[in-house]
Structure 1
Amino acid sequence: MRQNKLKASSHFTPVELNNCYNKKIKELTNQDCSERVLENKEHLLSGEDVLWGIPFQLGAEEDKCDVVVLNDTEASVSFVQPIHEKYLIFLHAVDYKSSPASADGIIHPMMGNPRLGEVVCEYILEYSDGSSHSVPIRRRFQINEFQRSWGENSFECVSHAKPHAIHTTTDSFKLGEMPEKDWGGSQFRLVGPGERSIMHHWLYALENPFPEKNLISIRMVPRDGVVFLFGITRSHLETNPLRWESRRKTKFSVPEGGKLNRFGVYTAIELDLGAVISITPLRNYDHTNWDNSYTNQQPNVSTTEMIIEYTAHPDACVYYGEQREHTCYVKHLENEQSPVFLSLTYQFRKVTVRVVDQKTNKPVPSKIHIHGPLGEYLAPINRHRIPNPYWFEDYSTDYVNGNHFWTYIDGEAEYKLPIGELFIEVTKGFEIKPIRSKYQVSPETSEIIIQLEHCLPWRAKGWVTADTHVHFLSPQTALLEGAAEGVNVINLLASQWGEMFSSVGDFDGRTTLGSRENGGDGEYLVRVGTENRQPILGHISLIGYEGRMILPLSSDGPTEAALGDPLETTITEWARRCREQHGISILPHLPNPRAEGAASIILGEIDGVEMCSWGNLYDGISSYSLSDWYRYLNCGYQVPAVGGTDKMSADTAVGTIRTYALIKEQFTYQSWMDAVRKGLTFVTYGPLLDLFVNGYGMGSQIDLPKNGGTLDILWEAATATIPVTKIELVINGETKEVKTVDPTQQNYSGSWSVKMERSGWLALRIRGQYPGRPEVITAHSSPVMVIVDNQRIINAADALTILDQIEGCTAYISTLATKAEESIYKKLLMDLTSAHRALHHRMHHAGIHHHHNVVNDHHHH
């Protein structure tokens, strides 16, 4: 992506200036120019060079002058053969000159710095018929200073280094390259004209007003300032050589044997009078079945065809091949005269795309994807054309699903769309039918209206959705993305990563963005909480709490806390403080870090365990996470399930996995927290469900007599996204009933009757499968607990694993953790000891025989 300094356009011929040069750069003194120039004279150009694709022959002979300095006397250049070219391109610059200020600091007249419009010299074109034409050379018009203030730009000349596209810092590292910019600057994906030059040399294309005459010489007359002329090049081009045309695209066929980089991109392509903006593999979508294929389906990425985006002069030349041995002129490319290139230069229309509710016709926030006939992604005017998927980087309102790009809109977006056939995909959560349709843009098209159908009634029945775990978004962006994804509650979590802190300025311990009391409509809410983290003992999400931020955000050193930070608190203590401040505590991305959360659950300080998508759209709910959760349920700890994404980059959509919570009163953030506490929840990647056991819903406890009893189970499921394949009844972690269903259907229901003779729990689990992908767990209810004869379930094998986990935490604190003061150290161990004893006592009470560690050995009483 770096600019090519070797390829020179054949449309130019350098002018010989050796007999015109009057100074040697290395011998310049303060009699010739300012100290600022002298301090940087080693950065002045000489020798052969290619600037903006234009060749120059600059003075370079060791013992001869190599620059024209116009100060007090004129200089001139005579041509051996008369010149008839339309353009003369000058490489020149002017020395510094400042405007004096009055005693009060005010400059009058205010000409700026450099002094705008001041004539520094004249270039007088002299013809063989005795006529001449004078061109005044003015600061910031045809010439500028070697260094200039920010914003004091030039109007008719450009800095000598042409603009070019670059990789982001992360892409450069992945390619094994040295980044061209630091992280922030690389997000521009470009380097501007002369951006990193120490001494700017300015290119000015002077148009010869009489190319039909014999131009025999140019006389250069100084006026006000010291001018440096380094070189002149002439050209027959019909338009300004420094004026490139707007962005265009072409399809390129990779030559046989062409090498692709690790991103699957062929990069051996350059332009002389222009720049390559991007090269991306062609994306082959199944356009024939576009309307009937499933949402988010990935395209096949070509290894033989690339889409090249570029900007160039119409007479630019493309060079390609490992040695850039092949050429094609842009004009031929655009006239489709090349077997390697196929022009994608469309006519464009400004089009407003509106996504509306089918019933009300009101705009609704949504997620949208549009691409053209060759799979080229088309972004709204105010969105990234190449979204950045990397961690904590340029965080736009986009979603990167592999090679399939999306963006979020508030219901309306402005596009520049090519005339012809387009392919559009729109989604909004799990209860609205996704749209995948083809659209024709005509020369008259000004608006595209897309109607969304709300086909599943879970929200109408009181269910609201939430993502319990989002990072790095601004609250307002989180509100937009939540609304576009149909996620009613976004929990944006401030946190700490070593010496880095995120969203801490967004936390105030009271504001729920989007609520009615804060000016919203109350349907989509954002609340900033915290994810407090320790590298060994674990993480905990503290959600919805009030008052001061619970600190420290991270503890116990790298990588969660800073190097050298001591262990100052436990997960359990953080959870307890969150409860005291009226929030709820969630163990995120269960089970890892798999440690002290076990003690927190036993002590009753946890309100939910989080099934996490980790940004993966197709893996479904992790059976490993479920296995860990089932351990606690099997020991009688009725902790509900919630869903969170741990979104930390654009490659994860909020609500990829989400919590559904049943609210039986007015929906507020508080009522949502109350529903989570009660366990009125299920977790899903798409399918929706409901479950009743003897008439009781999720989160309930059913008491049975000593001999147990029969349970009548009613269930309902539906999907608008992932096809459902199986409905399963889980009892005490084991699959007891399975109903295989038709994946082409949308709604399902059924019933089972089971006998429960011992205490335990029940839950509904749903499996689903996209075509061509493995079957995965797509939804899971929170449990219904069954208590027989007033005895909670306790499974010996699971209880022992929990005890081992607590003992491991105790061992870590006692041996390796960075110690704080002694009083804190002892307090840390108290929670672990209390939890261990509580479960240990239950095991003894239940008559479970087990092996004791030396630390916990005791006598039976």
Structure 2
Amino acid sequence: MSLNHMEESGNHENLENLENLGKPERFMSLDLSTAYNRSIANLNKEDCSDKVIANKEQLLSGEHELWGVPFILGKHEGSNNVILLKDETVELSFEHPSHDRQLLFLHAADFKETPTDAEGILRPMMGTPRLGETVCEYKLCYSDGTEVSFPIRRRYQISEFQTRWGENSFESVKHIKPRTMQANTELPHNQAPQIPWGQSQLRTTFQGFGSQMHHWLYALENPYPQKNLVRLLLQPLEGTAFIFGITGTNLATNPFRWNPRAQLRYTSAPGVVLNPFGPEANIRIDLGEIIAVTPALDYRHEQWLDNANPPLPVPKPNEWIIDYTAHPDALLFVDNDHSMVSTASTVSTVNTVIPLKELEKHQSFTQINAADRKVTLRTIDRSNGLPVPAKIHVHGEYGQYLAPVNGHRLPNPHWFEDYGTEHVQGLHYSCYIPGVAEFKLPLGPVYIEVTKGFEIRPIRKQFVISAETNTIEIELEHILPWRQKGWVTADTHVHFLSPQTALLEGEAEGVNVVNLLTSQWGEMFSNLGDFDGKTTIGSQENGGSGEYLVRVGTENRQHILGHISLLGYEGKMILPLCTGGPDESGLGDPLEATITQWAKQCREQNGLVVMPHLPNPRAEGAASLVLGEIDAIELCSFENEGINPYSLSDWYRYLNCGYLVPAVGGTDKMSQITAVGTIRTYALLQGEAFTYDSWMQTVRQGNTFATYGPLLEFRVNGCEMGSTLKLTASGGTLDVVWQVSSVTIPVTRIELVVNGELGEVHAADPAAGHYAGQWSVPVKESCWIALRIRGQFPDKSEIIAAHSSAIMVIVAGKSCFHKTDAVTILEQIEGSTAYVKSLATKADDRTYKQMLMTLTAAHRELHNRMHHHGITHNHTAADHHQHLHQHPDHHHH
């Protein structure tokens, strides 16, 4: 049986430029048509096992490109299209002598079972497939009469069509190469996921993915390529083998062995968007794989270096960073691009093909130095020389993100999709390190950013990595002394982190207290097993330093009535976590609790109750506050765009009605786009030691402020935030003293807020960083006073960057009570009652009546205050309450 070489095949449309490039053919498929002795379609029990027969439609024939290698399988005018190596030796003769350096076999072994003893034990334990058993022998015969035999053993050069997990092959690969893939969340909206969500998080498939019958690729090295190879003898030994195809190549090394990850910078034609995924892919590598394509980023280093607030990077037009892994002789294909210009000739066709070895000839490509220099990065506290956790970012000269060895190179920014220790800010990626981290960096310039909260000045510097660089130490200096003054920081609202990850991120961000909240989303629960109602992670009694703490609480939620954060309570978990159906609890769940009932139970269990992410969901939380079951309201960091005036509007109306509830800051962190403590609480301990309990007590007292960066101190007549001042009927003049500092966001205005209205204003120089002032404020009627700070990042709009808790001023014993604000609060309670009565899925009668009693109590309390202040108002139809009427003409219906 004589063999002919056939031209390189497979994806011909992508290979048409090879001749133009002057590149010789790399692969020649052998014509096995005269050697095929079986038809796949007609395989029977005399030929092979039942498993193969049952799956014969999965066996390959025709033209294929496998791992970038072309194979022509079963090219025969008759019906035979595979070599079955079972009982007889098959001889293949070359019509023209071959000098190929390697012969690439596409083959597989039939299944072979090992019998077990009576106990089900294999003796000897060779595994499945049977490790090391010689299936057949391939013999190379040369014109000078010499022969070289190669044993083909299971799990070495060949394996079975299906294998047990973990019993892989050592010298052969499954016919489908590993591929880059998108996470399901990133798929186009019109593309259905093909694999489960969790597996898509890998962003890479594995060998043989998607195949039920694995065909094995083996590169047999010709030991004498200088000789005339004239025959192949294929001899069966201890099993049955299928040989589907053979391709010859003169590549110097194994085409199935790829080099380590590498990077290119590429300039595309204007308007071209590179896409390595799926049927729309316009960039690929044959003997390798594109790992990722990301925009090259412009950090504008002249503005970035040594700048506390540089702008975020922007993509460079038509510039891309291509991560890939490939054989040295691989070809890169870029489609629909006319921009590549070779120094030798212009390449301008629909499908551009470039050997990786010749990239330097093309002006559109720059090979980026390999990130292979091992460097230890240490973040050091300047005061004592010890490593401290911090948030760190490293990028190379083209803006390419350089992750630590144990970090995500492509951080996942999506909701509840990753427990990694990264932060994603647009296209700017960072990670959290415990003070020391191992990196692999490229030689040449790298750019490092280190941040740690609001009291340490951010560091952004350039370093040049050389072959002698082993360690980089970066010193952090505590600039603002708020912690030394007794202030402690907290994030009141964090989800989807493990407690230890929360502890690391809290310390790296300078957040002393991280409240990690267990909750429920439909049939999904978070951090259930982390709640025990007693442990404060990081405390001295639990082996920590006591300076950074994590406590697991719960966020109990109802989609109409509202959410409530229950922090630090002791004992059993307050249940149900969520109630009343989607989108908080499960479909069909009845309404079994109100926000107020949850809050009351938390306080009975010595916890702290926070009304989260003010103002929404905006309903029954009003009842909780009116009944005095709320310890603080939370200003949140949705979209990281500052404190929203809409949120403040809700808080101000409670203050206007005399409800002195302090402000705290919480992120509601649910993904890596939000850093722990992006907005945070500062609370001032009054001389007592810092513990989780002392922190809760300080928040209850109200000496707090919420901030995105600016730090403040604020006193009225010497009294701290959260205080109540009492004046006589004649009123008086208040002495308002404040100071503000910021090493992060530049401050633009410092405002005094009186009853929600703008009072005094100090226009700040953003470059100064430190500000102080004093105002004299005449007061004739009861009011509340707070400090509001505005700031502005470069290239961004001005935001409300910080807000103090209020100080209440009572004149002549009469508290604040604003008519229109009181009516809106009452309306929320009435609306909540209407929902419970009309739409909410009812639980048992006792639970139903208890919920209505709670709402009625709140309604009566506020309604009576309104009457006490002589306020007339309208009622909704849901709650006529004639039993409270004191005068028949005081309602307007």
**For 1:190, which of 191, 204, 226 is the aligned residue?**
204
Q: TM-score, normalised by structure 2?
A: 0.93
Greater shift in the superposed pair: 828-837 or 416-425: 828-837
Greater shift in the superposed pair: 107-116 or 474-483: 107-116
**For 1:444, which of 451, 460, 468 is the aligned residue?**
468
In structure 2, what is the equivalent of residue 659 of structure 1?
Answer: 681
1:295, distance to aligned residue in structure 2 (A): 4.0
**For 2:732, which of 709, 727, 744 is the aligned residue?**
709
Distance 1:267 1:28 in 2: 37
Matched, 1:31 2:57: no
**For 2:523, which of 499, 506, 511 is the aligned residue?**
499
In structure 2, what is the equivalent of residue 325 of structure 1?
Answer: 351
Distance 1:150 1:532 in 2: 42
1:180, distance to aligned residue in structure 2 (A): 3.9
Q: Amino acid of the residue matched to residue 816 of structure 1?
A: L
Q: 1:19 to 1:852 in 2, by over 3 A?
A: closer
CA offset digits 1:704-742 (Å, max 9, x no partner): 112212211111111110011111111111111001111
In structure 2, what is the equivalent of residue 399 of structure 1?
Answer: 423
Output aligned runs, 1:574-593, within 5 Å.
574-593=598-617
Distance 1:804 1:234 in 2: 82
User: Unpaired segments of 5 or more residues in structure 2?
Assistant: 1-9, 19-24, 337-348, 888-893
In structure 2, what is the equivalent of residue 520 of structure 1?
Answer: 544
Distance 2:444 2:266 in 1: 20
**Contact 1:268-1:324 at 8 Å conserved across structures:** no
1:391, distance to aligned residue in structure 2 (A): 0.5
Q: 1:262 to 1:683 in 2, by over 3 A?
A: farther
1:524, distance to aligned residue in structure 2 (A): 0.6
Q: Amino acid of the residue matched to residue 832 of structure 1?
A: L
In structure 1, what is the equivalent of residue 660 of structure 2?
Answer: 638
Output aligned runs, 1:445-460, within 5 Å.
445-460=469-484
Greater shift in the superposed pair: 180-189 or 463-472: 180-189
Output aligned runs, 1:373-392, within 5 Å.
373-392=397-416
Distance 1:422 1:60 in 2: 54
In structure 2, what is the equivalent of residue 694 of structure 1?
Answer: 717
Distance 2:99 2:464 in 1: 49
**Contact 2:306-2:459 at 8 Å conserved across structures:** no
Matched, 1:620 2:646: no
Aligned-partner SS, 2:848: helix
Q: Amino acid of the residue matched to residue 288 of structure 2?
A: G
1:103, distance to aligned residue in structure 2 (A): 3.1
In structure 2, what is the equivalent of residue 161 of structure 1?
Answer: 176
Q: Amino acid of the residue matched to residue 820 of structure 1?
A: A
1:61, distance to aligned residue in structure 2 (A): 4.2
**For 1:68, which of 70, 83, 89 is the aligned residue?**
83
Aligned-partner SS, 2:483: coil
Q: 1:315 to 1:425 in 2, by over 3 A?
A: same
1:259, distance to aligned residue in structure 2 (A): 4.4
Distance 1:611 1:841 in 2: 29
**Contact 2:49-2:111 at 8 Å conserved across structures:** yes
Aligned-partner SS, 1:191: coil
In structure 1, what is the equivalent of residue 798 of structure 2?
Answer: 775
Q: 1:367 to 1:13 in 2, by over 3 A?
A: same
**For 2:842, which of 819, 829, 843 is the aligned residue?**
819
In structure 2, what is the equivalent of residue 216 of structure 1?
Answer: 230
Greater shift in the superposed pair: 39-48 or 817-826: 817-826
1:181, distance to aligned residue in structure 2 (A): 2.3
Matched, 1:733 2:756: yes
In structure 1, what is the equivalent of residue 583 of structure 2?
Answer: 559
**Contact 2:139-2:232 at 8 Å conserved across structures:** yes
In structure 2, what is the equivalent of residue 569 of structure 1?
Answer: 593
In structure 1, what is the equivalent of residue 886 of structure 2?
Answer: 860
CA offset digits 1:144-194 (Å, max 9, x no partner): 1111111111111110011110000111144x3333421111111011111
**Contact 1:464-1:662 at 8 Å conserved across structures:** yes
Q: 1:261 to 1:76 in 2, by over 3 A?
A: closer
In structure 1, what is the equivalent of residue 832 of structure 2?
Answer: 809
In structure 1, what is the equivalent of residue 36 of structure 2?
Answer: 21
**Contact 1:6-1:50 at 8 Å conserved across structures:** no
In structure 2, what is the equivalent of residue 836 of structure 1?
Answer: 859
Aligned-partner SS, 2:305: helix
Distance 2:77 2:632 in 1: 78
Matched, 1:718 2:733: no
1:64, distance to aligned residue in structure 2 (A): 2.3
1:535, distance to aligned residue in structure 2 (A): 0.7
1:248, distance to aligned residue in structure 2 (A): 0.6
Distance 1:7 1:179 in 2: 27
In structure 1, what is the equivalent of residue 553 of structure 2?
Answer: 529
Q: 1:645 to 1:516 in 2, by over 3 A?
A: same
In structure 2, what is the equivalent of residue 682 of structure 1?
Answer: 705
CA offset digits 1:108-135 (Å, max 9, x no partner): 3222211111111110001111111101
Matched, 1:275 2:278: no
Q: Amino acid of the residue matched to residue 258 of structure 2?
A: W
Identity across matched positions, percent:
57
**For 1:107, which of 122, 127, 135 is the aligned residue?**
122
Distance 2:308 2:121 in 1: 66
Distance 1:356 1:767 in 2: 32
**Contact 1:4-1:270 at 8 Å conserved across structures:** no
Matched, 1:293 2:293: no
Matched, 1:244 2:258: yes
1:786, distance to aligned residue in structure 2 (A): 0.9
Greater shift in the superposed pair: 462-471 or 837-846: 837-846
Aligned-partner SS, 2:788: strand
**Contact 1:258-1:321 at 8 Å conserved across structures:** no
In structure 1, what is the equivalent of residue 651 of structure 2?
Answer: 629
1:6, distance to aligned residue in structure 2 (A): 7.5
Distance 2:539 2:112 in 1: 58
CA offset digits 1:65-112 (Å, max 9, x no partner): 111111111111111110001010000011112333333443332222
Q: Amino acid of the residue matched to residue 466 of structure 1?
A: A
Aligned-partner SS, 1:289: helix
Distance 2:62 2:764 in 1: 77
1:7, distance to aligned residue in structure 2 (A): 4.9
Distance 1:584 1:489 in 2: 13
Q: Amino acid of the residue matched to residue 678 of structure 2?
A: T
Distance 2:474 2:702 in 1: 37
Distance 2:13 2:241 in 1: 28
Distance 1:745 1:682 in 2: 21
Greater shift in the superposed pair: 514-523 or 743-752: 743-752
Distance 1:723 1:257 in 2: 37
CA offset digits 1:453-509 (Å, max 9, x no partner): 100000011110000100010001000000100001010001011111111111111
Q: Amino acid of the residue matched to residue 639 of structure 1?
A: V
Q: 1:5 to 1:95 in 2, by over 3 A?
A: farther
In structure 1, what is the equivalent of residue 342 of structure 2?
Answer: none
CA offset digits 1:823-844 (Å, max 9, x no partner): 2222111121111111111111
Q: Amino acid of the residue matched to residue 790 of structure 1?
A: G
Greater shift in the superposed pair: 767-776 or 383-392: 767-776
In structure 2, what is the equivalent of residue 255 of structure 1?
Answer: 269
1:339, distance to aligned residue in structure 2 (A): 2.1
Distance 1:346 1:579 in 2: 57
Distance 1:63 1:27 in 2: 13
Q: TM-score, normalised by structure 1?
A: 0.97
In structure 1, what is the equivalent of residue 890 of structure 2?
Answer: none
Distance 2:575 2:548 in 1: 28
In structure 2, what is the equivalent of residue 343 of structure 1?
Answer: 367
Number of equivalenced pairs:
853
CA offset digits 1:361-410 (Å, max 9, x no partner): 10000000000000000000000000000011133110000100000000
Distance 2:216 2:156 in 1: 10
Distance 1:300 1:166 in 2: 25
Q: 1:126 to 1:598 in 2, by over 3 A?
A: same
